[in-house]
Amino acid sequence: MFKRLLITSCFVIIALMAIGWKYQQYLMNPWTRDGLVRAQIVQITPRVTGPIIHLNIKDNSQVKAGQVLFTVDPRTYKTALEKAKGNLDQAKAQLQRAKDEANRGRQLALRQPGAISKITLVQQKNTVTAAQAGVEAAKALYDQSKEQ
Q: What digits encode the pLDDT tens for the residues 51-91?
A: 888 888 887 777 787 888 888 888 888 888 899 999 999 99
Its domain, for residue 138, covers 75-147
Q: Are residues 35 and 88 located together in one domain of the fold?
A: no
Residue 50 falls within a domain, yes or no?
A: no
Of 30-39, 88-97, 103-112, the least confident: 30-39
- pTM of the model as a whole: 0.56
The tens digit of pLDDT for each residue in 4-59 reads 888 899 999 999 999 999 988 887 776 666 665 566 677 777 777 788 888 888 87
> Cβ(61)–Cβ(46) under 8 Å?
no
Residue 47 falls within a domain, yes or no?
A: no
Total of domains in the chain? 2
Residue 69 falls within a domain, yes or no?
A: no
Q: Are residues 89 and 134 located together in one domain of the fold?
A: yes
pLDDT at position 129, please? 94
Q: Are residues 98 and 143 located together in one domain of the fold?
A: yes
Q: Are residues 81 and 21 located together in one domain of the fold?
A: no
User: What's the rounded mean pLDDT across residues 103-115?
Assistant: 87
Residue 82 falls within a domain, yes or no?
A: yes
Q: What is the 3-state secondary structure (H, E, C) of 18-53?
A: HHHHHHHHHHHCCECCCCECCCCCCCCCCCCCCCEE
Q: Are residues 80 and 142 located together in one domain of the fold?
A: yes
Residue 103 falls within a domain, yes or no?
A: yes
Radius of gyration of the chain (CA): 35
Residue 137 falls within a domain, yes or no?
A: yes
pLDDT at position 112, please? 86
Residue 51 falls within a domain, yes or no?
A: no
CATH of the domain at 93: 1.10.287
Residue 121 falls within a domain, yes or no?
A: yes
